[in-house]
Structure 1
Amino acid sequence: MPTSQDNPSLETHPAPSQRQTADVQPNIQPNTSAGAPLSLESIIESQVGFMQQWLRAQADTLSVQACQWFGEQPLCQYLQADDLKRLINDGLLQQPMSDVMRTDIRDILHTVIYHPINDNVPLSELIDDTQVETLASYIGRHDEQRNALIHTLIGNETFADLLTQTLYHAINDFMENTLDKAGGVGKLMKLGRSSFEKATNKNLDEKLQTYLHRNIKDLTQRAETNAQTHLSNDEVARLLVMGWSRIKNLPISEIQTYLNNEADNNSIEHIEASIQQSYNRLRLSPYLRSLVAASIDTWYSNHQSDTIAAVAASLPIDTSLASPLSTALRPIIQDALDSPWFTAHIREMLQAFYAQPAIKASFAGHGDEPR
């Protein structure tokens, strides 16, 4: 066999990580009788065992060093903007969410919304007072947003319709129930109602609803105009803050009162299905793909010169996580090193190495070619 004395280029120097773990270095010896020549198979098997034990001993150090090396590489060396576009547009957006993923989303939402802890945590835990004050001040300073809010609260048709129906039911209840107790007066009024409908060929209920709707809609429009004219920016902001102060101490579970949890009418399932429908409509649309491409170009132009570690830190993923990650992955790495497929690949690599003509010739030249 050739030695370092025969060929100085074969002399090896252990790496720092090897010297630091010299006490755990494997000592694999070929299983041969004393003085018997080594067979190629025994050399390969000894090397396979040595490599596996060495890698097991060095796994933690190598993984940390690999993370450090990877973090020092520039992003643009391995990733281009077009690669990200293909990943998102042709990969993620090309396929709809699987039924399994959709089920997981619904189950997780249900767990989060109906978790018992929500009974003891107030809404103020989710939204800080300063956030509400900032939003209120923003709306108060912008006339367009302020007027939109006032219109939503006072001047919209839904509010007018709701008020119309409320007044109609109140009047109708008075006519149907109170007048029954009014004796002759009540009968006289009901007779007058019947005579009106016959004379005008119109239903009094419909006429009453039309009258209320027309007049209440006019009243709400006047109220909206007055509110927009007389409510100052500070007053609008103050109303928003006051509204928040009334509900901020309610438990988060109060949200549950606006949701149905029945098996055949589950709000979470409706919400998830609606989001999924919108997602499926948008994910293949040229509109979304254009926005994705523009967003990637913007992000890549900002970070293409950064190292991968700098990009990770911006996410943020701290490099200090490398050691805990290495510890967490240790069982997987150890099992992979001991797996049959890894052993077979090492053996195949070594067999290919010794099968090279130059290696065979080197052994033959020293008269020590393994059998």
Structure 2
Amino acid sequence: MQKHPVIEQLIEAHLEFLAQEFSMPDTIHDEFNAFYHWLKQQQLKNIWTFEQIYQLIQKQILDTPASAFLIEQIAEHIRFALIHPINDQTKIEDVIPVLTIDQIAQYVASKAEHRQALIKQVTTNPAFSAMVTQLIQHAIQDYMDNSLMAKKVPGVGRFMKMGKSVLESVTDSNLDDTVNNYLQKNIIKLSQLSETVLNQHFSEEKLYHFQANLWHKIKLQPLNVLRRYVEVNDLPKTVELGHEIWEHIRQTDYLKQQVHDGVYAWYARNQERSFDLLLHDLNIDENLIQNELTQLLNPIIQEMIQSKYLRERARLYLEKFYYSEQIQQILK
């Protein structure tokens, strides 16, 4: 393409004008603010469709695996938070408000129906029955072997052993087996009794006070107690396990359907709302645009000007404009 002296002068003048205008902070502020005022009046449905939003989420979240670097950074940030020295001086009550704890305690204690259903499910579980049976057997055996009377009163220990032998000879079976058979036959009654006792022990009032007492025991402890329960050196492994779970879930039809329907429901509720309201939901208002976000954008624009990037990109389009046939005809 043959260069035209006049056009080149116009392009250079145009570029100088743009560089001068955008180097002024007020220009960025005014343009960004004007864009916000335009955007906030637009309705969601006039800018993006449901399909566009869902396809973006599907591509970036469901179809794209998390990078190894991201997983590594997650583990590193958790480790950093756990070993931070401020945990040694910060108490649990400093980060968790007592009123919230009280509300949680009241809420949990009030769920009697859920609590009773959980207790019933636990006490009717075969594993629970086996545990209760073993505990009773061990308690009986321990009493016979180590009771205070057997140790302190002469002859009682021998008498108890003799009684055990007599019982075994009469029943023609081992005492442990006899007790075990009895417990097995009455396991339903034991489970029902356990359920009754647990429901009495975990009544609404007792459960509330249990939580309150637990809070008073831990509230003054420093946050570094968390390191007792989280192996810092194992974080890469535990985070990787979480990553493996996510990698499987994100590819399931279940999650894809959940995300699809969730986004659709959100879009249906918000498609006629303006961006002013949508941004307000995210705590983005005009004050934030005029101050914090504008200040973040301004250094980017200035770097684009100083590095000549903006000038090069602008020249590309200005050349297309000034060397177009329409402008050529005007300049003749």
| Interval containing the TM-score (normalised by the shorter chain) | 0.7 to 0.9
Paired position in structure 2 for 1:349: 317
Q: Give the whole-Å Cα distance in 2 for the aligned partners of 1:173 and 1:261.
A: 41
TM-score, with length taken from structure 2: 0.74
Distance 2:80 2:315 in 1: 50
Rounded Cα–Cα distance in structure 2 between residues aligned with 1:119 and 1:210: 54
Aligned twin of 2:9: 42
| 235, 238, 244: which one aligns with 2:215 | 244
Deviation at 1:313, TM superposition (A): 1.0
Pick the aligned partner of 1:235 from 206, 212, 216.
206
Residue 265 of structure 2 aligns to which amino acid in structure 1? T
Distance 1:131 1:89, change over 3 A: same
Measure the CA separation in 2 of the matches of 1:210 and 1:121: 55
Which protein is richer in helix relative to its size?
2
Asked whether the 8 Å contact 1:155–1:223 carries over to 2, the reply is no
Q: For residues 251 and 213 of structure 1, what CA distance do their matches in structure 2 show?
A: 47
Quick check: which has more Rg, 1 or 2? 1
Quote the Cα distance in structure 1 between the aligned partners of 2:145 and 2:203.
44
TM normalised by structure 1 equals: 0.67
Alignment pair present for 1:78 and 2:47: yes
Contact 1:139 1:145 in 2 (8 A): no
- 1:321 maps to 288
**Residue 97, structure 1, aligned to residue 66, structure 2:** yes
Structure 1: where are the runs of 5+ without partners? 1-37, 178-185, 194-201, 365-371
1:160-175 alignment, distance < 5 Å: none
Separation in 2 of the partners of 1:357 and 1:100? 51
Q: Distance in 2 between matches of 1:216 and 1:138?
A: 33
- Structure 1 residue identity aligned to 2:51: D
Distance in 2 (CA, whole Å) between partners of 1:82 and 1:114 is: 44
- Secondary structure of the 1:72 match is coil
CA RMSD of aligned residues (A): 4.5
Residues in 2 aligned to 1:331 and 1:97: alpha-carbon distance in whole angstroms: 30
* Alpha-carbon distance in structure 1 between the residues aligned to 2:95 and 2:123: 28
Residue 260 of structure 1 is matched in structure 2 by: 231
Give the one of 271, 292, 299 matched to 1:331: 299
1:316 counterpart SS class:
coil
Percent identity between the two aligned chains: 27
CA distance in 1, matches of 2:92, 2:189: 37
Question: Residues 84 and 212 of structure 1: is their aligned pair in 2 closer, same or farther, counting only changes over 3 Å?
Answer: same
Q: Which position in structure 2 is the counterpart of 1:109?
A: 78
Deviation (angstroms), 1:254: 2.0
- Residue 280 (structure 1) shift: 1.6
Alpha carbons of structure 1 residues 341 and 250: separation in structure 2 relative to 1, 3 Å: closer
CA contact (8 A) 1:123 1:252 kept: yes
After TM superposition, give the deviation of residue 242 of structure 1 in Å.
2.9
Deviations 1:25-68 (A, max 9, x none): xxxxxxxxxxxxx6432332232222221222223322232233
Mapped to 1, the partners of 2:15 and 2:197 lie a distance apart of 88
Q: Look up the match of 1:147.
A: 116
Aligned to 1:34: none
Q: Distance in 1 between matches of 2:185 and 2:217?
A: 33
Shift of 1:165: 7.1
Task: Say how many residue pairs are matched.
Answer: 323
Q: Following superposition of structure 1 onto structure 2, how do residues 59-78 of structure 1 map, counting pairs within 5 Å?
A: 59-78=28-47
CA distance in 2, matches of 1:230, 1:145: 15
In structure 2, stretches of 5+ residues that fail to align are 147-156, 165-172
